[in-house]
């Protein structure tokens, strides 16, 4: 009879729902966003790593009650935005504070990392560009390629007067369009663009311009319906990572 209370307690523990002790934060790995999310090999199996995955694992270490799920599933940016609106995604790592994003995300103040946007051209193109006005004056001969749905498209459009082609969904597609003469420039962030050129084996065919450049900060974007206590947990953990220098150390691992 003395075993009954013990067995009852054990049965009650075993019947607890999975993850009851954790704050589950739903997210996704953004396609074509290297090195925010990259394909890696983990114990002989394909997995997803990168800056954002490292940040989320670090957040879980700072606050063991946090658990990010979904970072091992690739999704295009447009689907992530749709998931946020539908209430299926709670957090998007690496969002820019542009109007399109601020209208749908709640941004935490901590800067995750800062990148530079560079322009790539064909290696045999001897064009010398100093500023955005120089590109603007090229008209249809100065088409800038960018990735569909990415924040850089909004930023370039805000500059004004630039010819932009944002139809491609991967860096490889835009690099091939660049080589085919379907654009004069490809604008993408660094770290990221050099790796894409290297992976495509195009180091001898494509070069990067020193200017003009754009500097952009990236943040953690949360669903505006995420409960305040969960938002506070993520915010506090991020502040801790910033104060300890861990955010900087993570980003430096991926410098090109």
Do residues 105 and 151 make contact, with C-beta atoms less than 8 angstroms apart? no
User: Does the structure show a pLDDT above 70 at 168?
Assistant: yes
pLDDT at residue 25, rounded to an integer:
98
Global confidence as pTM: 0.88
Q: In this structure, are residues 143 and 234 in contact, taking their beta carbons and an 8 Å threshold? A: no
Going by C-alpha positions, the residue among 220, 236, 219 that lies closest to residue 228 is 236
Average pLDDT over residues 193-211: 96
Which two structure tokens, joined as six digits, stand for 246? 């861990």
Would the pLDDT of 17 be above 90?
A: no
Instruction: Quickly tell me which residue has 């049965």 as its tokens.
Output: 11
- Range with the poorest average pLDDT among 15-29, 94-108, 140-154: 15-29
pLDDT value at residue 10: 36
Tell me 97's DSSP state: -
Is residue 14 over pLDDT 60? Answer: no
Stretch 68-84: mean pLDDT, rounded?
A: 96
Within 13 Å, how many C-alpha atoms sit on residue 161's CB side? 9
pLDDT score recorded for residue 203: 97
pLDDT in tens, 188-199: 999 999 999 999
Structure letter (DSSP) for residue 226: S
Q: Average pLDDT of the chain?
A: 92
- Rounded to whole angstroms, how far apart are CA atoms 96 and 104? 12
Q: How far, in Å, CA of 83 to CA of 95, rounded?
A: 15
Categorize the per-residue pLDDT at 2 as very low, low, confident or very high, splitting at 50, 70 and 90. Answer: very low
Say yes or no to pLDDT of 230 above 60.
yes
Residue by residue, DSSP assigns 218-235 as EEEEEETTS-HHHHHHHH
What is the percentage of the chain residues whose pLDDT exceeds 90?
Answer: 90
Core vs surface per residue 167-178: b (16+ CB within 10 A) or e: ebbebebbbebb
Q: Is the pLDDT of residue 13 over 50?
A: no
* 219: alpha, beta or left? (left if phi > 0; alpha if psi -120 to 50): beta
User: What local confidence, expressed as pLDDT, does residue 112 receive?
Assistant: 98
């Amino acid at each position: 009879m003395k075993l009954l209370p013990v067995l009852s307690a054990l049965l009650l523990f075993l019947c607890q729902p999975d993850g009851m002790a954790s704050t589950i934060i739903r997210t996704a790995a953004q396609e074509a966003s290297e090195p925010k999310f990259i394909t890696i090999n983990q114990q002989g199996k394909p997995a997803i790593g990168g800056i954002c995955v490292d940040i989320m694992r670090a957040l879980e270490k700072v606050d063991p009650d946090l658990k990010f799920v979904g970072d091992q599933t690739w999704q295009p940016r447009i689907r992530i935005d749709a998931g946020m609106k539908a209430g299926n995604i709670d957090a998007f790592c690496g969002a820019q504070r542009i109007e399109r994003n601020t209208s749908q995300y709640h941004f935490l103040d901590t800067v995750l990392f800062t990148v530079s946007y560079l322009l790539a051209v064909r290696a045999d193109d001897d064009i010398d560009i100093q500023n955005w006005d120089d590109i603007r004056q090229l008209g249809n001969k100065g088409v800038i390629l960018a990735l569909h749905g990415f924040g850089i498209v909004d930023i370039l459009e805000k500059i004004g007067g630039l010819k932009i082609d944002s139809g491609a969904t991967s860096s490889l597609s835009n690099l091939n369009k660049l080589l085919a003469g379907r654009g004069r420039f490809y604008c993408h962030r660094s770290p990221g663009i050099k790796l894409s050129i290297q992976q495509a084996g195009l180091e001898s065919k494509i070069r990067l311009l020193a200017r003009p450049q754009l500097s952009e900060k990236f943040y953690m974007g949360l669903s505006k319906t995420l409960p305040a206590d969960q938002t506070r947990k993520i915010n506090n953990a991020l502040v801790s990572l910033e104060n300890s220098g861990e955010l900087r150390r993570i980003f430096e691992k991926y410098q090109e």
